[in-house]
């Protein structure tokens, strides 16, 4: 299992990074990205700490830790600059908190994230056709999520990504130890979303490729 979206105590997660890493390893994970929520107020504090703990943990266990961020609930006009700043500060994965149907995310967030070339647009809700086509053009990955609430639009994402040929990955959006899932459960979530049996391995392979690129 590879998970490219999780949260620690550096934002609204329940666990320190080391414990989250340990629990992920126990669950059979091979890689996990710490992608705490950031805006302009905390980016310069959160990301260097995540980078430090990733450096400390990598090579000392079989689990690979990827330092990243999830830019969250900022005005769309700020997203491009924050994506650039996160990359400058060393984020190996940059995610943006998409227009989930269960939170009041600002309209235009999906478009701004895609235009900024984020790695993953998380739980993008009922993303428009125009934004889907732009995501395909820009090579932005869409997320199918294991997290309750955000997962309500998984079926839409699965259907439209398949129809248009847009890559997807499955992440947990973990905030606490109970949010981690096994690969077997992740497979069930993908199938329940409408991903065809023959396409499930491709979803996992895409996540592996994203992780490998981030770890270079």
Q: What is the pLDDT of residues 143-171, one digit of tens each?
A: 999 999 999 999 999 999 999 999 999 99
- The β-bridge partners of 197 are none
Range list of β-strands (E), the chain: 2-3, 31-38, 64-71, 93-97, 120-122, 141-145, 168-171
Cα 196 from chain centre: 22
Q: What is the dihedral of CA 53, 55, 61, 66, to 10 degrees?
A: 80
Q: Which two tokens stand for residue 47?
A: 């990301």
Q: How far apart are CA 25 and CA 6, in angstroms?
A: 14
pLDDT tens digits for 109-133? 999 999 999 999 999 999 999 999 9
Q: State the pLDDT confidence band at 69, using cuts at 50, 70 and 90.
A: very high
Domains in the chain: ranges and CATH = 2-215 (3.20.20.140)
Which pLDDT value is given to residue 37? 98
Crossing angle for the helix pair 197-215 and 183-193, to the nearest 10 degrees: 120
> What pTM was computed for the model?
0.97
Which pLDDT value is given to residue 85? 98
CA angle (84, 149, 209) in 5-degree steps: 45
Q: How far apart are CA 177 and CA 142, in angstroms?
A: 24
Which pLDDT value is given to residue 199? 97
- With tokens 């905030």, the residue in question is 175
Q: State the pLDDT confidence band at 76, using cuts at 50, 70 and 90.
A: very high
Q: Taking residues 53-63, what's their average pLDDT?
A: 96
pLDDT tens digits for 166-182? 999 999 999 999 999 99
- Residues 205/183, Cβ–Cβ less than 8 Å: no
Q: How far apart are CA 113 and CA 121, in angstroms?
A: 7
Which pLDDT value is given to residue 66? 98
Q: State the pLDDT confidence band at 204, using cuts at 50, 70 and 90.
A: very high
pLDDT tens digits for 16-39? 999 999 999 999 999 999 999 999
- Residues 2/211, Cβ–Cβ less than 8 Å: yes
């Amino acid at each position: 299992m590879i998970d490219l979206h999780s949260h620690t105590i550096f934002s609204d997660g329940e666990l320190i990074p080391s414990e989250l890493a340990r629990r992920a390893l126990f669950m059979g994970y091979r890689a996990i990205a710490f992608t705490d929520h950031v805006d302009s107020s905390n980016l310069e504090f959160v990301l260097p700490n995540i980078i430090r703990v990733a450096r400390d943990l990598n090579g000392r266990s079989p689990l690979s830790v990827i330092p990243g961020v999830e830019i969250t609930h900022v005005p769309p006009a700020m997203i491009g600059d924050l994506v650039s700043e996160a990359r400058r500060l060393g984020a190996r994965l940059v995610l943006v908190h998409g227009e989930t149907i269960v939170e009041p995310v600002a309209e235009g967030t999906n478009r701004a994230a895609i235009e900024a070339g984020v790695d993953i647009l998380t739980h993008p809700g009922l993303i428009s056709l125009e934004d889907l086509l732009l995501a395909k053009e820009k090579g932005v990955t869409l997320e199918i999520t294991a997290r309750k609430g955000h997962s309500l639009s998984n079926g839409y994402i699965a259907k439209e990504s398949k129809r248009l040929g847009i890559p997807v990955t499955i992440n947990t959006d973990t905030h606490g130890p109970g949010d981690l899932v096994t690969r077997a459960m992740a497979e069930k979530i993908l199938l329940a979303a409408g991903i065809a049996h023959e396409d499930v391995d491709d979803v996992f392979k895409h996540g592996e490729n994203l992780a490998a690129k981030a770890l270079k």
